[in-house]
Structure 1
């Protein structure tokens, strides 16, 4: 049963491509009796080598052949279809985020940083730019597909084996070894709706000798950029599905307001002798009179068009792995993996919000907004942010055996490093003011005696500028960052002694590790500088050392029972309050019959605070806030205030790292079974539960502002009394700074926040997998696979002493409640066909009044082996050209939830050669 399970998991239904793509020096050999001889291997979740892939905790395996057969060009594309990735995350459609060039996963909805990513069982360096400006993660874009042998996913806590970060799960990317021969492939293709092509070249080779082996891989990958202007359903604010296109809301492309009148339609002012229509027409169709009945400004409907919906990326990677037998029972090995990338991203075109000033020509206090169209900037791609990134992962070591091969050992030194340099074009604040406002005049305004005096250059402000003038207003903001991880590890594993039901196996690990990062922001965007317009940044840097010892045992209690026990002690040497952590896990496997495995596990886990949560310098940011106090103080309810601009506006925020953070602590449970129903039919079902205490995170601005309103008004939303003089209220009130005096009197000026160990988070659900293979003499071989994950509950508490509320069905929760992936494959002589499909469960609509339908995507791969050395494939991804499910209430760009892709159908051809 175990042999069949391993063969099913690693080969069906994708063996057709694997046989052509690679010959392994340690392939399985068929015995004379038709049995399969399986070597022991180390599978993620345990350091004890074993023949069976199925253990007390569920493990998902994706092979390189499966990645190819299912139509994926990158490791990330394949991993993003795993059913366990139910959580939402920021991706390329979120170009205004802090990490628009990185690719992440959110396992179980617990956050991108709570999954441990390993390369050949070793820690990879973090992406040095923090996710959402806060936490760290591993950028999966840096993993070259050509070097991958398989990917293993353990979904659940595994800190007792691997230490910190193994909370939601562990991803282990296993690279190729012992490769024989040469393999060359070329793939090219593009979207059928239009857009830039993708090209991919892979070369993999290797040789083995009597006492040595060498495997190498080189990959070149090129993917062109795409903009929203290339998709007519998201290139304009008229694509907002919630309104009539003739009345669509536009960005105020150019406006000037008399703030002594207010902010409404009657506050708009124009050049003397000019009107709205004549001003709008000067931009050659880019600006139009706002279509709404209340419109009285030049609207710009194409504001989304300049945003990238797919980043450009050109990268080259190299991998080499070699072994040398030093003695009969000692082998040396070395591994090097390098990756170099140049990519570009692009957010919406820039704008300038004119600060309050007094103009003697108009005799009043003015403010304004000025959008810069593509014709003014030099085209859709004129404002690209360029990322130059490099990563390297190096390992060297010795391994061997002793006591007549009863025990094996492995001593490894490894180092990984990631560097990123990005150049981002932005406005210089002073250049903008000098160009449009001119020299500041003496004195202050005669009304409030608070605002500066300028004479607006009306010809420049109310007319298009040239690309050369635009460039003169701009500069390039440079951010440099790097991170590294170094580890010395020694592992001993083997069978201690025989028990009545079999050998007692063990593994012991000793680790010394060091981690560091440095984030050097352009000094002009740091808080208080005010040199770059509308952009702030953060710096930071620090290091930590860690030491660990761990052990695990596989104990055969009976012919049908096996127990596993593991424990690990981690000691941290850094400035946090982590100090040390002890974790353990236990598992049980029961095989009442040969075809059935019933299993369960319990694990404790921990996560040391992210480096940037600890070492971040003071930083600033802008975000949209809801001014609940002003809303409720006006006599309205939160619902009545809705989307009124008077209560929803941009405010400045300040945050800083916290060196007093403690570790997050977690617990994980799994219980399920693996059943070989009949030959070649396997069913796996597992229940899981993950809980986290002391989750590190910033207090959200919305939480602060809701409680500020409660504390100021003395009652909460439901009318319950609140003590405004309490310590909690004093903390909350000190976190909000409001403007005093002037037209903006009482508006939120700044919100202060930072990370603390604050909350509780949990996720529980079911994972299930069905696999079936059917071999026929006449019609060929068929393979079927179906995976499903369903979230039963999610709970959250803002602070640990608060009630834990279920939010799975909350209409503000955009995590998927379920995910499915499946495939059907057919191999007949030299022809093989694979149809792959993935299903995303329903999500709330944007208006939070209901849910939208599930979403299905299908890929098709048809391959034919023309000769023994040449094979070609036609790959069609998203065969049905499906876009996002319809949501008539999604009234903000990109007019659908970012988990869905706007690319549509893509067609590729691949040619493969072996010799």
Structure 2
């Protein structure tokens, strides 16, 4: 295998992605005359086509030790981008799992289930865009997963920019298989139990396949991991967060300005989790809370029931009916860091000065680690009916399908009632002095721990409901049109109609204009779109060794956007100079309709730290200098609002690929493929820095370099209307609020290499050995925020935290009743946090052993992360949790599984 990897690129190729090219799957594929492979609707004998397709089977998922679909896919080499996950509990979708193919983003690969679009997760990723959640798909029902790398809009329509993930469920299953699996983590927490039942039955003209799964998983809190349970884990030994403080804002800079009723030590001693520490900059003594962030969960608790039914009925030899139902019901609990309260700047009547107060609430005050968990209930189902058959003496196949899918989320989050918490500590407002409110802080309440009962009296439950739906109908007609000298001309034609809608209803008390819930705003929205499409593709045998593949598609959109319609095409070549060698290439155009939440989002609020470029330039300070960016006068937190933009256009993409596949021997297969993807008019929110730069240009009538700007232009009126400044009072002229919305703005281009190799050795005495290895290396990733702006080398930028290379491998051995599997993956280096260099790679090994006890029963043991590997060391990562979110903090996990087959 090592020798194969160092062969010249021109002669190296592999087809782990094509089951018939991998010797381990060859016998299974020889029974099929023709099959449909993701990336084409034309049935074919050769699994390999003009674009690479990676296949991962249900058996491989089990051997690799994974419990969920997402865990297995996330280790494939092509998914080089990172996403928000359970470790990022402050994210907008902490209970969902998303993929990031080629590092373009979660929404840039199309996710299909049995070739049909799945309903989007109703809560928008990062509060902005839509994507499909992989966490609710039962592993028990999966037959295999096919991953097509490259643009495929000419076949599937919108979203297939980076590629397609097609999750293919079990059909025509015979017998029954009951699986019981249990496990835990060696570092504590995360106990997991799973029960699966897969079966099938049938008669002369009917068949029914069913799968049911129950998964229960215990939460893991950051406090259960010693490397992230405290601010003391900061490699730079930064200070803790202040658990409680009252600041005198009129004290001179760099002088003690904390106010205590007696002294800091006595106050801190009242709280079990607080301790005194020396404040930086000569500010005196503070009450530190080192464990503040460790109250968050790093793995959600989960309780999920899911099921799948698939049935067929043969009406005649040429007509078959199909029905499919899949569903899931999930109850999860998630938790971010413990809540805190911060007062506005106010005049304190007792202290006679301007103060602000900050208070963090410890687990003992709130009732334990689980007392602040958000409860998320999710229900999803997908129902489909279809008819399929053959015509013209079996020359042509047809398939008509209608389906309806729904996904519902109900979130219940405990948060402070603003009036209750303010009144509890400050009481009624006593007046106004110099534009600031006057209060009298209740020292007895503020400087003493709360009981859980008192804490709960200040809390309310914030309810958010969300729902997404997709209705689809499709008709596919395929077959061989006629014979050419080199073979039959294959054709497939399709027509589709679909309706997509979503409705996101946050608690009305978290609307930006409502201040009932403390320190929390939400995003709402809702809309619908209709889509109609027609496409055709051809497989053209030019010579006996050369085949061309052409496809074109027209999509018509009926919604509020400026998309209207889109035309896409693809062209591919397959050249087989000998049976064991394939040279291939493909060119495709693709598009992506704007995410519905980019279009239909209601106004939502956020807080962000910004730099006031206008204030700096007006004062004669370079806006890029630390005198501007590092000054609290010009860099401070502001409130902002965001809303959707119905004027968005579609994003347009192009992709190229070229490669070679070589079955060098009956036991050795290899492949190398080059890819390139370019995306134009990518939808993104206007960045705050770009907004404030344009606002400053318009207010001053000139750009940074002195170029004149027409302040009365329509563009300037737009920029000026998006920034509000304080009209009077002590903060006159400061930014009061900003408004943002998404626009078609940036372009991105990426290219790289995928290489794969598989080797199989069958022996009589020592068993059968199989080895596979896949490697992806990103050669280029460049971005341009706006046309005319500089092109940025994102791949090598020291603030870019996606992986430039990823590798995965699998080694299997089977003999008689025993089977052993080793699976591993390596993620390449990332920049260090201070952006001065790069940190080491990340290598994980999983291992599994299975023993057949009887003809019906087997037992297996799996160990994930055998060596208990954690994140690579980064001595500059001084932001909690002190490592990048892509790395897992779970550590080693051990599972035991019992399988039992019965009729």
TM-score bracket relative to the smaller structure: over 0.9
Residue 651 of structure 1: CA displacement?
2.2
d(CA) in 1 for partners of 2:734 and 2:884?
A: 31
Q: Is 4-13 or 765-774 further displaced after alignment?
A: 4-13
- Which residue is equivalent to 1:340? 329
Equivalent residue, structure 2, for 1:462: 447
1:189 aligns with 183
2:228 maps to which of 202, 227, 234: 234
Structure 2: how far apart are the matches of 1:234 and 1:741? Answer: 45
Q: Structure 1 CA distance, aligned partners of 2:630 and 2:281?
A: 18
1:680 aligns with 2:672: no
1:89 counterpart residue number: 83
Distance 2:564 2:877 in 1: 47
- Out of 452-461 and 496-505, give the one that drifted further: 452-461
**Map 1:856-895 → 2, pairs under 5 A:** 856-895=843-882
Matched, 1:166 2:160: yes
Contact map agreement 1:10 1:63 (CA 8 A) in 2: no
**Cα offset, 1:748, TM superposition:** 3.4
Aligned partner (choices 564, 568, 574) of residue 549 of structure 2:
564
CA distance in 2, matches of 1:876, 1:13: 27
**Which of 527, 545, 566 is the equivalent residue of 2:512?**
527
1:406 lines up with 2:395 in the alignment: yes
SS of aligned partner of 2:256 = helix
**Shift in Å at residue 725 of structure 1?**
3.4
Change (3 A) 1:769 1:710: farther
1:537 shift after superposition: 0.8
SS state at 2:557 partner: strand
Q: 1:576 aligns with which of 555, 561, 580?
A: 561
Distance 2:170 2:868 in 1: 34
Q: Please state how far the C-alpha of 1:744 moved relative to its aligned partner.
A: 4.5
How far apart, CA to CA, are the structure 2 residues paired with 1:483 and 1:500?
Answer: 50
The alignment status of 1:495 with 2:480, answered yes or no, reads yes
Cα offset for 1:208?
A: 2.7
Q: CA deviation at 1:261?
A: 2.5
Residue 87 of structure 2 corresponds to residue 100 of structure 1 = no
**864-873 vs 640-649, which moves further:** 640-649
1:239-250 correspondence to structure 2 within 5 Å: 239-243=233-237, 248-250=238-240
1:620-664 CA deviation, whole Å, 9 max, x = no partner?
112333445556758475456676666554321111111111111
Q: Distance in 1 between matches of 2:28 and 2:188?
A: 45
Go from structure 1 to structure 2 and tell me whether the alpha carbon gap of 1:720 and 1:90 turns closer, same or farther (over 3 Å shift): farther
Report the alpha carbon displacement of residue 381 of structure 1 after superposing the two structures with TM: 1.3
SS in 2 for 1:873: strand
CA shift in 2, pair 1:168/1:8, >3 Å: closer
Query: Where do 1:14-413 residues align within 5 Å?
Result: 28=28, 36-243=30-237, 248-261=238-251, 264-271=254-261, 274-290=262-278, 292=280, 294=282, 295-413=284-402
Q: Does 1:751 align with 2:738?
A: yes
Deviations along 1:426-456, whole A, 9 cap, x unmatched?
A: 1111111111111222x311xx2x1111111
Deviations 1:884-909 (A, max 9, x none): 00001111111100000000000111
User: 2:279 touches 2:285 (CA, 8 Å); kept in 1?
Assistant: no
Q: Could you say which residue in structure 1 is the equivalent of 2:3?
A: none
2: CA distance, partners of 1:344 / 1:722: 55
Structure 1 residues 784 and 158: CA distance shift in structure 2, 3 A = same
Question: What TM-score results when the alignment is normalised by the length of structure 2?
Answer: 0.95
**Higher deviation after alignment, 664-673 or 284-293:** 284-293
User: Following the alignment from structure 2 to structure 1, what is the Cα–Cα distance between the partners of residues 639 and 223?
Assistant: 31
Moved more, 203-212 or 628-637: 628-637
Q: Partners in 2 of 1:747 and 1:71 — Cα distance?
A: 55
Partner residue, 1:820: 807
Residue 5 of structure 2: aligned partner = none
After superposition, the Cα gap between the structure-2 partners of 1:627 and 1:848, relative to the gap in structure 1 and judged at 3 Å, is farther
**Post-superposition shift, 1:726?**
7.5
Q: Deviations over 1:577-600 (max 9, x none)?
A: 111111110100011111110000
Instruction: Give the alignment partner of residue 489 of structure 2, picking from 488, 504, 517.
Output: 504
Shift of 1:465: 1.0
- CA deviation profile, 1:819-871 (whole Å, cap 9, x unmatched): 11111111122111111111111111111111111110110011111211111
* Contact residue 857 and residue 878 of structure 1 kept, 8 A: yes
Q: 1:581/1:40 Cα in 2 relative to 1: closer, same or farther (>3 Å)?
A: same
Distance 1:649 1:185 in 2: 56
Q: How many residues are treated as equivalent by the alignment? A: 885
User: Could you say if the C-alpha distance between residues 74 and 700 of structure 1 is closer, same or farther in structure 2, counting changes exceeding 3 Å?
Assistant: same
Counterpart in the other structure of 1:596: 581
Matches within 5 A, 1:413-812: 413-441=402-430, 443-445=431-433, 448=434, 450-627=435-612, 633=619, 635=621, 637-639=624-626, 648-708=635-695, 723=709, 725=711, 727=713, 731-740=718-727, 744-812=731-799
**Aligned-pair CA distance for 1:55:** 0.2
Could you tell me whether the CA contact under 8 Å between 2:699 and 2:711 is conserved in 1?
A: no
For normalisation by structure 1, the TM-score amounts to 0.93
Q: Name the SS for the 1:267 alignment partner.
A: coil
- Between the aligned partners of 2:729 and 2:292, the Cα distance in structure 1 is 31
Q: Tell me whether 648-657 or 331-340 shows the greater mean CA deviation.
A: 648-657
Contact 2:17/2:53 (CA < 8 Å) preserved in 1?
Answer: no
State whether residues 711 and 722 of structure 1, in contact with CA within 8 Å, keep that contact through their aligned partners in structure 2: no
Secondary structure of the structure 2 residue equivalent to 1:845: coil
What is the alpha-carbon distance in structure 1 between the residues aligned to residue 346 and residue 308 of structure 2?
59
- Cα deviation for residue 416 of structure 1 reads 0.7
1:340–1:390 Cα contact (<8 Å) kept: yes
- Greater CA deviation, 644-653 or 837-846? 644-653
User: Aligned with 1:167: secondary structure?
Assistant: coil
**CA 836–601 in structure 1, closer or farther in 2 if over 3 Å, else same:** same
Output the CA distance in 1 between the equivalents of 2:257 and 2:686. Answer: 37
Task: Please tell me whether the aligned partners of residues 509 and 549 of structure 1 are also in contact (alpha carbons under 8 angstroms).
Answer: yes
Is the contact between residue 625 and residue 702 of structure 1 (CA under 8 Å) also seen in structure 2? yes
Q: Map Cα deviations across residues 733-789 of structure 1 (whole Å, 9 max, x no partner).
A: 443334455555554332211011111112111111111111112211111111111
Closer/same/farther in 2, CA of residues 6 and 90 from structure 1, 3 Å limit: closer
**Unaligned ranges ≥5, structure 1:** 19-26, 30-35
Which position in structure 2 is the counterpart of 1:22?
none
Q: CA deviation at 1:709?
A: 5.5
Contact 1:712 1:724 in 2 (8 A): no
For 1:10 and 1:562, locate their aligned partners in 2 and report how far apart those are by CA, in whole Å.
19
Cα deviation, residue 680, structure 1: 1.8
Listed one character per residue, the Cα deviations across residues 689-716 of structure 1 (whole Å, up to 9, x for unaligned) are: 1111111111112332455566667887
Q: Distance in 2 between matches of 1:557 and 1:89?
A: 44
Q: Counterpart of 2:188 in 1: which secondary structure?
A: coil
Report what 2:839 is aligned to: 852
User: Which is further off, 879-888 or 622-631?
Assistant: 622-631
Are the structure 2 counterparts of residues 356 and 6 from structure 1 closer, same or farther at C-alpha, using a change threshold of 3 Å? Answer: closer
User: Which stretch has the larger CA shift, 868-877 or 250-259?
Assistant: 250-259
Gaps of 5+ in 2: 1-13
Cα shift at 1:8? 6.4
Secondary structure of residue in 2 paired with 1:81? coil
Residue 419 to residue 710, structure 1, CA distance change in 2 (3 Å)? same
Q: Which residue of 1 aligns with 2:9?
A: none
- Determine if contact 1:693/1:800 at 8 Å carries over to the other structure: no
Give CA-to-partner distance per residue, 1:530-555, whole Å, 9 cap, x none.
11011001211111111111000000
1:905 to 887, 892, 895: 892
* Aligned counterparts of 1:886 and 1:10: Cα–Cα separation in 2: 42
Cα distance in 2 for partners of 1:628, 1:684 equals: 52
